[in-house]
Each structure stands twice: as C-alpha cells, then as structure tokens.
Copies of this chain bind each other. A is one copy, B any other.
Amino acid sequence: MTRTQHSTTREAEILRLDRQICFSLHAATRAFNGVYRLVLQDLGLTYPQYLVMLVLWEHGELPVKRLGEHLRLDSGTLSPLLKRLETAGLVRRERSARDERSVQVGLTEQGTALRERALEVPRRIGAATGFDADEVRDLQERLDTLTAALDAAIARPDALNGNTATP
C-alpha cells in the first residue's frame, strides 16, 4: 500500500470522484459504440456512418456544411467518411452548380433501400439498453442539458475557472 503518502485523503478523494464522473461517460459511450457496432455490422455501417445515413434519410439531399451542423462534425471528419459511403455505393456527392464551393450529398438507390433494414436498429438498441421509453427520454434530456452547458462554457473560457463575472 504505497498509496501516495504525502497527499491528504481529501485530495485523493477529489481526483477519485472526478475519475468516476468523466469515466462513466467515457465508458457509456464506448459501450454504446460496441452495441451499435454489433447491430450495424449487418448493414455494413459504422456508428458515425449510421448517424450520417439517419440525417440523409430524414432530410434528403443537403450540402456537407448542413450535414456537419446536424451532426456537429466538420469537413475533416466528414470528407473521408462520405468518400467511404460513396465507395460503398450508398451516397452520391456532386458539386453544386449554383455555388461551386458547396458539395451536395444525396442518397443512391442503394442508400435509400438500406433504410428498410435500418428500421430494425432502434428496437435492437432499445432492447440492449434495458431502459423503457421514459427513462431514455429522461436521460436524453439530462445529456442535452449537459451538452448545452459545456458548449456555453467552451464559448466563454473564464467559466472554466469558476468565475461568474463577465469580461
């Protein structure tokens, strides 16, 4: 038990608690990822690719920029991902004629057809969570609140020092 001697119990607890909090989210995300990986392998999609397809199924053709806004992802992530979906024959990419900077992303016939099989996914995931609809909704609300708070803190970095004063 060499357990870092000089430090007080109080300090040790501070860091241990923090590990539990951030680690819980980290672990939940990876566990979710694992389940989606398993469920989605039938469709030949990764989890982020599935998210992209969900947006396309819901909204139809739209530029990379809009896609990134829906998913909070930038072109650095989306460009290679969309290329892989294009190679897989699920997605079509073409520069907009109206604005040559913009690239329109749309579904191929195959990509549209895949939606039928994707309808099974939510039920499978739901079964894996063991949560009922109310619990899921509640958890989602908390996560969204958390995300909003974290985004606000990032936008105003002094919040990270516990300051309440505005610059």
Contacts and interface: CB of A to CB of B under 8 A. Distances in A.
B153 A15 contact: no
Most buried by B among A28, A124, A159: A28
Contact of A60 (B3, B18, B25, B54): B3
A131 B115 contact: no
Say how many copies of this protein the assembly contains: 2
Contacts of A136: 21
A17 B129 CA distance: 15
Given A72-B30, A119-B11, A128-B150, A58 B16 contact: yes
Interface in A76-99: none
Contacts of A157: 38
Which 5 residue pairs of A and B lie closest in terms of their CB atoms, listed nearest first? A128-B153, A18-B122, A130-B149, A31-B150, A127-B162
Contacts of A20: 140
A159 to B, nearest CB: 6
A57 B15 contact: yes
Contact of A146 (B7, B58, B129): B129
A22 interface: yes
B27 A147 contact: yes
A151 interface: yes
A58 B161 CA distance: 24
A43 interface: no
Interface string A113-133: 001101111111101111100
16 contacts: A1-B120, A4-B115, A11-B119, A15-B119, A18-B121, A22-B32, A22-B51, A24-B140, A25-B28, A25-B29, A25-B143, A26-B51, A35-B154, A38-B160, A130-B149, A131-B146
